[in-house]
A and B are shown apart, each in its own frame.
Chain A
């Protein structure tokens, strides 16, 4: 008999409904897993023991009454700490929000609660979601359950790590340039960035508003779809929320890859990738072709330049969004004789080095005399990326490439070299610029036993095709390895 912490959401849901498992028992199992692994991993910033116990009790009572709230009913879910939770401290991994207790819930939090989910806690992240390793948290790094000497990726590294090790069955992250897909790849789980606008950003602490999108982490594609179904949908509180119907992602689960037109994104699927990553990627593409998909190489030249443009657009938007953290309304304040001195001192002390760097880059790129050459030019390159994708989707249903050019790197390895860190996102950034959906699915391990992610991307609102391809990849790769920390503890 296995530990319930290792169940998929779908299987846990079946056991909750046939009476073999209770939400309270399932919560106990993930809490036990957390207590055995947190000292090594530090996936959580805040564990909401009381709130979770009450939610589990409510979930069990509802099931006993015959009320079924859907795929997350009774399921323990972790929340990245940039999504605000009324009454529960929310810091976004930054000292400038230390101690802040939000007076409202993010829309995704309300939706999870309405869907019967049990929110176990707030997960660690790179400060304000800026980073690719979760080392930029003001509260210390998160480690990778496959090897605690390595990073879990980022910025949603805490959420990824918790789902990989079993201290939650699913989690929410946010993806501005790859912050869901890259950590999913580095921790051997599934991570999905939905089409921009499908999941409300209300209550998501903004980094780059035209790129930010909330999405699920889970251990299977089906489970990620279940979370997506609960959190997606129009929200009047988010002016950029999509007004039309949510695409039927679940429809893609059952369909096989026969006849699916798959484009291999050439600019991101060759040189620059680790050989083991490339080998696992190519093996999976061959398997797709063997299973009846039509595979075509596709060239999207602008994807080679997307990262350059991203590192102007994202800092520009962040420098504007982070202006609100000024010591006036919330968070700590450092004194000064004038309000300007107070703001300058509070911000200098409150922001870590990476956030400071990006605010400086963004402020410069937007400043008088440089706007056209930097930010304006980057926005035109963004158009080139959008047009390249649009052209490609005339010929293919989905595009594929490795999610990350490398597997999990060592803690500290890229910490002093911002540009090297930025290159972690080379394959994930293009769809943030275009607004299209993307998903990472684990397909194998490298020579060190570290997981490798396979990325599928699809046109806007093409979640059904995205999930169809991702589910096929999942079946063909049959990835069933588990991280060292989860298996050794599970056996204990």
Chain B
């Protein structure tokens, strides 16, 4: 079953700035992988609930008390770019 995939759109959603050649080289492999994975669609799952997690989950609450946090300088020392106590990034909007 051919799977309809707009790879350029998916790459944009994933913030992967792939070239046209790279997109083309992934396309066949992704078709194969999705064809294989899509065999789950043929299985009888009428009325079967989804499982998102192996354990029954409940919220993990704790008392609202101040606890030690990471050292700000140690964290910012790893940043590719910073401005004082902030991470610095390029503009969000084109100028």
Contacts and interface: CB of A to CB of B under 8 A. Distances in A.
Interface of A: 100-101, 103-104, 196-197, 210-211, 236, 239-240, 242, 305, 308-309, 311-312, 319, 323, 326-333, 335-345, 347-348, 351, 356-357, 359-361, 363-365, 367, 373-374, 376-384, 386, 418-419, 422, 433-436, 460
Nearest to A363: B14
Nearest to A209: B53
A163 to B, nearest CB: 27
B37 A311 contact: yes
B43 A381 contact: yes
A357 B26 contact: yes
19 contacts: A100-B78, A197-B54, A236-B62, A327-B80, A337-B90, A343-B15, A347-B17, A360-B14, A378-B37, A378-B40, A381-B40, A382-B50, A384-B48, A386-B54, A419-B33, A419-B36, A422-B33, A422-B36, A433-B51
Q: Which DSSP category, helix, strand, loop or mixed, fits chain A's interface?
A: helix
Contacts of A379: 50-52
Contact of B90 (A312, A339, A365, A381): A339
A103 B49 CA distance: 41
Nearest to B70: A103
B30 to A, nearest CB: 6
A351 B16 CA distance: 9
Contact of A312 (B15, B40, B81, B91): B40
A332 B79 CA distance: 9
Nearest to B11: A360
B60 interface: yes
B37 A367 contact: no
B43 A384 contact: yes
Contact of B45 (A361, A365, A384, A419): A384
A337 B91 contact: yes
A338 B92 contact: yes
Contacts of B45: 377, 380-381, 383-384
A95 B16 CA distance: 15
A339 B91 contact: yes
A357 B74 contact: no
A445 to B, nearest CB: 31
A419 B95 CA distance: 44
Nearest to A344: B17
A435 B78 contact: no
A333 B57 CA distance: 37
Given A340-B15, A360-B14, A308 B37 contact: yes
Contacts of A377: 40-41, 43, 45
Nearest to B33: A361
A345 B45 CA distance: 41
Contacts of B55: 196-197, 240, 242, 435, 460
Contacts of A100: 78
7 tightest CB-CB pairs across the interface, nearest first? A435-B54, A344-B17, A379-B50, A333-B80, A380-B45, A239-B60, A103-B74
A342 B92 CA distance: 10
A433 B18 CA distance: 32
B50 to A, nearest CB: 3
Nearest to B32: A419
A305 B40 contact: yes
A367 B13 CA distance: 9
Interface in B29-87: 29-30, 32-34, 36-41, 43, 45, 48-55, 57, 59-60, 62, 70-71, 74-75, 78-81, 87
B37 A347 contact: no
Given A338-B93, A380-B43, 6 more contacts: A103-B74, A103-B75, A326-B15, A348-B22, A364-B10, A381-B40
A331 B80 contact: yes
B90 A338 contact: yes
B54 A196 contact: yes
Given A196-B54, A330-B79, A332-B80, A357 B30 contact: yes
Nearest to B73: A103
B22 to A, nearest CB: 8
B7 interface: yes
Given A339-B90, A356-B26, A363-B10, A311 B36 contact: yes
